[in-house]
Structure 1
Amino acid sequence: SGRQASIAAIGNDGLVRDIKAGRLPGIDRLEALFNLLDIELYIGPRREMVDAIQPPDADLSELANIPLYNADLAAGGGATNGEEEIAGYLAFRRDWLRKVGVAPSSAVMARVEGESMLPTIWSGDMVLIDTSKIEIHSRGRARKTSKPHVYAFVEDGSARVKRIERVETDFYAVISDNPEFPIEFKSQKALDDMHIIGRVMWWAHTDQG
């Protein structure tokens, strides 16, 4: 209980009660409580991007470090990025990457900004991109049961993320999941002028607050 934890940490029963009441105790008392609960107490810069984040006792041979680029993919009008630098790495299990059909050497990650892909992809989400998958296909008979694939691409110097589908031989649709954003139609020439970074294979909601 909170009372027992307080007594074990500092010798009286008021510590957890004070925290629940909104009274912040001294750092020495917090440290004593955290040590009791086997929780790290850390004060410093945000540590969400740590190189090669590894789960405890992980078999490192089973993990692949995927680079997270310091670049935004706009779910909207387009985000202009300069020279993309690697902000850090995230570790993925190799067997999971094989399951979803992504080779570690072809995988990169970036963040998405904007609201055009809501409610599927939110602003601030991280996406895993397979750079080997750049061909745009028609859904064919699966049109009624599946959605077009999501791609990351650069158009007129701006990086974007949208669903893209070939609807005719030389005609493509660029589609947002948010119905407030209209469908864009592209000719084969316009698509050829775009740089397809790759297909988005996975995304994760992240707390940007």
Structure 2
Amino acid sequence: MPSHDLTSKIKEIRSKSGMSQDAFAGILGVSKSKIQNIESGKQRVDHDFLRGLAVHFTVDINALLTDSPAPPQTDDVNCTSNQFIKVPRLEVEASAGNGSEVSSEAGTQAYAFNRKWLDKRGLKPNTLSVISVRGDSMEPDLNDGDLVLIDLANTDLADGKIYAVQYSGNLFVKRVQYIPGDTVRLVSRNAQYAPIEIKTPEADGVRVVGRVVASMHEW
């Protein structure tokens, strides 16, 4: 079993990166359950895992294995390997509240995702984008400032899934619920926010930007 200090350092690296366990696993090319087991002390940290941290998060393995504080890391993930795909972050915020106005959508920076992780989920790199969330209406699922991975090719609304939806000039991140009679309800996770009901979405100018397929969340 890994030492308490080592598991704490690994969890700190993930937390400082603002990543969920699922996203962290995707970067390292391992399963989410492995991250869970390592952070809970149930699974031994092997050499390949440490090497992945060193390469993709630019950490010092020696510092990880000693009593030194958690090693520093750079802001950018190392993407020299063709095992990783850079996904652009768009300069736009999606509201998890009452709506955010859509302005510039030019890419400002990129985030790296493991190619195998994307392939396993049937995601194509050229149809993906990362955007930030603003507001608290989707808490605790999505917090203010979280980053979400959007599949721009997935615009067919499925009941119960979370989408980025543009409506009345605003961009929302909401869970979709179908109501009989050709009505779509955009539902918040936070009960303090009333759902938004849209009758005949196509006629009302609703544009589905894409489905939220992953989030980077800081605990």
The reply to whether TM is greater than 0.5 is yes
Cα deviation digits, residues 160-201 of structure 1 (max 9, x gap): 100112222511111001111112221124675111110000
How far apart, in 1, do the equivalents of 2:190 and 2:183 lie?
22
Q: Does 1:73 align with 2:94?
A: yes
Q: Which has the higher contact order (CA 8 A, sep 6+)?
A: 2
Q: Which residue of 44, 59, 78 corresponds with 1:54?
A: 78
Task: Please report the TM-score for the alignment, with normalisation by the length of structure 2.
Answer: 0.63
Name structure 2 gaps, 5 residues minimum.
1-59, 65-69
Q: Which residue of 2 aligns with 1:83?
A: 104
Q: Call closer, same or farther: CA 1:157–1:92 in 2, change over 3 Å.
A: same
**Secondary structure class of the residue paired with 1:98:** helix
Q: Given residue 94 of structure 1, which amino acid in structure 2 is its aligned partner?
A: R
The Cα offsets for residues 104-136 of structure 1, whole Å up to 9 and x where unpaired, read as: 111100000100001100000000000111111
| Counterparts of 1:189 and 1:81, CA distance in 2 | 19
What's the secondary structure of 2:88's corresponding residue?
strand
**Is the Cα–Cα contact under 8 Å of residues 155 and 193 in structure 1 kept in the other structure?**
yes
- Alpha-carbon deviation of 1:62? 1.3
Alignment of 1:195 with 2:207, yes or no, is yes
Q: Aligned to 1:124, which of 131, 145, 148? A: 145
Give the length in aligned residue pairs: 154
In the alignment, structure 1 residue 137 sits paired with structure 2 residue 158: yes
CA contact (8 A) 1:126 1:206 kept: no
In the alignment, structure 1 segments of 5+ residues that lack a partner are 1-33, 139-147
Alpha-carbon distance, 1:158 to partner: 1.2
RMSD: 2.5
CA distance in 1, matches of 2:128, 2:142: 18
Stretch deviating more after TM superposition (189-198 or 162-171): 189-198
Other-structure match for 1:21: none
**Cα offsets for 1:81-102 (capped at 9, x unmatched):** 3222212111101110122221
Aligned to 1:205: 217
Establish whether residue 160 from structure 1 lines up as the match of residue 160 from structure 2: no
Runs (4 or more) in structure 1 with deviation over 4 Å come to: 36-42
Aligned to 1:111: 132
**TM-score where L is the length of structure 1:** 0.66
